[in-house]
Amino acid sequence: MKRALSNPLALSGFIIISGIFLLALFAPLIAPYDPDAIDVKAILLNPSSIHLMGTDGLGRDVFSRMLFGARISLLVGLVAVGIATAIGIVLGAIAGYYRGWVDVVIMRTVDVMLSIPTFFLILAVIAFLTPSIWNIMIVIGLTSWMGVTRLVRAEFLSLRNREFVMASETLGASDKRLIFKHLLPNSMTPVIVSSVLGVASAVLIESGLSFLGLGVQAPQASWGNILTDGKEYIQFAWWLSLFPGFAILITVLGYNLFGEGLRDVYDPRSSKSR
């Protein structure tokens, strides 16, 4: 962590992510209004000292909805990436350690999954399910594990013939000990970087699904459905599109900066080459 925070990219991303997490965590204390409270006397008010980010077409305070929407967007990103990472680690470890026909089956499955555009695959699955935050998290996680699988498999194949692994194997170490004691801990560097970058991708996917009406459903606030509301009033209520779009931009930028910084920290060659 000390090395990561000494890297300008990682530090910048960490500050952005931490700030957004704090805003989301303390949203009930910071939000000046109930995010779902409708006020017909305050419809489409411009940003002001009373409503910092204006109001929407139902008179709801946009700033309050943005704070609570941050909770949804970040939760979806973290849980979806957690599911994808867990599946990817298991399948990648099995493929890289046992090789042979097991490796062939798993990697051909990965190739098939990668040949299908992820967003359209998610749309197809969501069409058969009830749109909800839990379905969104699970579907994104179940369709995003392929990259982690390939990374873990490549690391296992690289480490499998290293001296310390061969020495443990010669001393009679079990498969379980080799995998969990030697191979997996030494394979986590690219997985950590990939997971951080994957959160940004999951936030974008959730926002896109909510924008299309297939994600988080009203009245529950997410940045995507706030953008959807702004689409109807974009000519004269610019704040409904600007603020959620900017929040998505900053969040994705923060995760990308943090991920790139971690990559530089874990792989000194990449930072020297820049």
Tell me the C-alpha distance between 208 and 61, whole Å: 22
Which of 49-63, 168-182, 213-227, 257-271 comes out lowest in average pLDDT? 257-271
Residue 226 is assigned to a structural domain of this protein: yes
Q: Average per-residue pLDDT in the chain?
A: 86
Q: Is residue 104 pLDDT above 90, yes or no?
A: yes
Burial of 160 (0-12, 13-18, 19+ CB in 10 A): middle
Residue 39 is assigned to a structural domain of this protein: no
What pLDDT does residue 118 have? 77
* Residues 111-133: tens digit of each pLDDT: 988 888 877 878 777 777 777 78
What pLDDT does residue 267 have? 65
CATH number, position 161: 1.10.3720.10
Which of 92-101, 199-208, 240-249, 260-269 comes out lowest in average pLDDT? 260-269
What pLDDT does residue 274 have? 44
Percent pLDDT > 90 in the chain is 29
Taking Cα atoms as reference points, which of 52, 34, 51 lies closest to residue 42?
51
Residue 21 is assigned to a structural domain of this protein: yes
Residue 193 is assigned to a structural domain of this protein: yes
For residue 267, give its domain range: 2-30+52-272
Q: What is the pTM of this model?
A: 0.84
Residue 231 is assigned to a structural domain of this protein: yes
Q: In the chain, how many domains are there? A: 1
Residue 178 is assigned to a structural domain of this protein: yes
Q: Is residue 271 pLDDT above 70, yes or no?
A: no
* Residues 86-100: tens digit of each pLDDT: 999 999 999 988 888
What pLDDT does residue 217 have? 77
What pLDDT does residue 174 have? 79
Residue 38 is assigned to a structural domain of this protein: no
Q: Is residue 63 pLDDT above 90, yes or no?
A: yes
Residue 252 is assigned to a structural domain of this protein: yes
Percent pLDDT > 70 in the chain is 97
What pLDDT does residue 268 have? 55
Write 263-267 long-range contacts (CB < 8 A, 24+): 263/193, 264/7, 264/9, 264/10, 265/3, 265/4, 265/7, 265/10, 266/189, 266/190, 266/192, 266/193, 267/189
